[in-house]
């Protein structure tokens, strides 16, 4: 049975190909909902509405979660509020990047 921890850990393998950082540390994952039937809903954003890698990132998020043992249906919802800013990047990663 999947857990929130295993889902979040798996999502760390999904990278934004332009920034080469994972979607969790970038702060693109806003919420993960795991229901009793092991269906998963990932609420996330992209760095911008015109993100050229948006489809690739969304597909990678969906595929990564779907490939976890015991996961049912996976929905990925892209939202624009709150709008993503670099302040959403994990503080440790921001420090590493010199931000």
Q: How many CB atoms are closer than 10 A to CB 97? A: 11
Domains of the chain: 4-97 (3.30.300.130)
Give the residue, 42 or 18, on which the prediction is more confident: 42
Q: What is the pTM of this model?
A: 0.93
Q: What are φ and ψ of residue 32, in 5° steps?
A: -130, 125
The dihedral over CA atoms of 9, 99, 54, 71, expressed in degrees to the nearest 10, equals 10
Q: How confident is the model at residue 98 (pLDDT cuts 50, 70, 90)?
A: confident
Q: How remote is the C-alpha of 58 from its chain's centroid?
A: 8
Q: What per-residue confidence (pLDDT) applies to 96?
A: 83
Q: What per-residue confidence (pLDDT) applies to 1?
A: 84
Q: What per-residue confidence (pLDDT) applies to 71?
A: 97
CB 14, CB 61: distance < 8 Å: yes
pLDDT digits (tens, 9 = 90+) for 66-76: 999 999 999 99
Q: How confident is the model at residue 81 (pLDDT cuts 50, 70, 90)?
A: very high
HSE-CB at 56 with a 13 A cutoff on CA atoms is: 9
Average pLDDT taken over every residue of the chain: 95
């Amino acid at each position: 049975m999947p857990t929130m921890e295993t889902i979040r850990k798996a999502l760390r393998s999904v990278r934004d190909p332009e920034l080469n950082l994972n979607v969790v540390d970038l702060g693109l994952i806003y919420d993960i909902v795991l229901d009793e039937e092991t269906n998963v809903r990932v609420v996330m954003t992209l760095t911008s509405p015109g993100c050229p890698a948006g489809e690739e990132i969304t597909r990678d998020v969906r595929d990564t979660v779907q490939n976890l043992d015991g996961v049912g249906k996976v929905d990925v919802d892209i939202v624009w509020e709150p709008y993503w800013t670099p302040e959403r990047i994990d503080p440790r990663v921001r420090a590493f990047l010199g931000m």
